[in-house]
Amino acid sequence: MPKPDTQASQDLAPSGRLRAALNFGNQVLAVRSPTGEPQGVSVDLARAIADASGLPLDFVQFDSAGKVFDALAEGRWDLAFMAIDPVRGAQMDFTAPYVLIEGTYLVRGDAPFQKTGDVDVEGVRIAVTRGSAYELFLTRRLMHATLVRVERPEDALKTFLDQQLDALAAVRQPLNGFAASHPDLRVLPDAFMRIEQAVGVPKGHEPAHRWLSQFVTEAKSNGWVAEALKRNGQGEANVAP
């Protein structure tokens, strides 16, 4: 894996310690082990970046992507693992994506919806996590359905169930897992969006961004990302081309 020059290393972590934001709202990227330790492909990637740059690593933990992005204005992290989105892109620079996942809907078994496009009709209410990539996307794209925004992914699931909403928008993998043990629910087979997960840094850190872009490209091409996904039980997620 490529190592940064001194300028890139200093630009990446001006304090001398690399502060990596983790989003536990997306279990494809990061989860907490039974002992509370962070695990996942973004955790492994943060450690690999820290090792290559020779920087001590601190994890800054959040329970949703929206809270990660809000913390940018407070200067609480140096890099983050987030989905590429134009709203975020106004304040962040992203590498190319390293993982592709799908945003889709969980619905009830007797719901009339057969594909994601069927959900965008008047009167339909969709639970969604505020500030997530799919909430930002659906805010721009939905013409008729109403989004019911909540703060955390677990709150979105609870709201969908308790308020008898029509759909829950989220990442496919956890929806599949939940539906597998709830036969009265099903996940729609197609996706309303392809979520491009990347490494991001605050605007104004071009040396760090340039090196991280090289690092991510190498990690994809040499099979590192694919191996990290399998190692963390996320082999269904696709490595970005």
Any idea where the domains of the chain sit in the sequence?
Answer: 6-99+196-239, 102-193
What CA–CA distance (Å, rounded) separates 18 from 151? Answer: 27
Q: Do residues 41 and 229 make contact, with C-beta atoms less than 8 angstroms apart?
A: yes
List pLDDT tens digits, range 117-136. Answer: 999 999 999 999 999 999 99
Q: What integer pLDDT is reported at residue 81 of this predicted model? A: 97
Fold category of 102-193 in CATH: D-Maltodextrin-Binding Protein; domain 2 (3.40.190)
Fold category of 6-99+196-239 in CATH: D-Maltodextrin-Binding Protein; domain 2 (3.40.190)
List pLDDT tens digits, range 151-206. Answer: 999 999 999 999 999 999 999 999 999 999 999 999 999 999 999 999 999 999 99
What CA–CA distance (Å, rounded) separates 73 from 76? Answer: 8
Angle at 141 between CA 135 and CA 144, to 5 degrees: 100
pLDDT over 90 at 116, yes or no: yes
User: Fold match between 6-99+196-239 and 102-193?
Assistant: yes
- Tokens 């972590």: give the residue: 13
Q: What integer pLDDT is reported at residue 27 of this predicted model? A: 87
List pLDDT tens digits, range 52-89. Answer: 999 999 999 999 999 999 999 999 999 999 999 999 99
pLDDT-derived band of residue 235, with 50, 70 and 90 as boundaries? confident
pLDDT averaged over the chain? 95
Q: Do residues 169 and 103 make contact, with C-beta atoms less than 8 angstroms apart?
A: yes
Q: Specify the range with the lowest mean pLDDT, choosing from 15-19, 26-30, 143-147.
A: 26-30
pLDDT-derived band of residue 217, with 50, 70 and 90 as boundaries? very high
Q: What integer pLDDT is reported at residue 9 of this predicted model? A: 95
pLDDT over 90 at 237, yes or no: no
H-type helices in the chain, by residue range?
6-12, 41-53, 65-72, 86-89, 133-141, 153-162, 172-180, 206-221, 224-231
Which token pair is 233? 């039980």
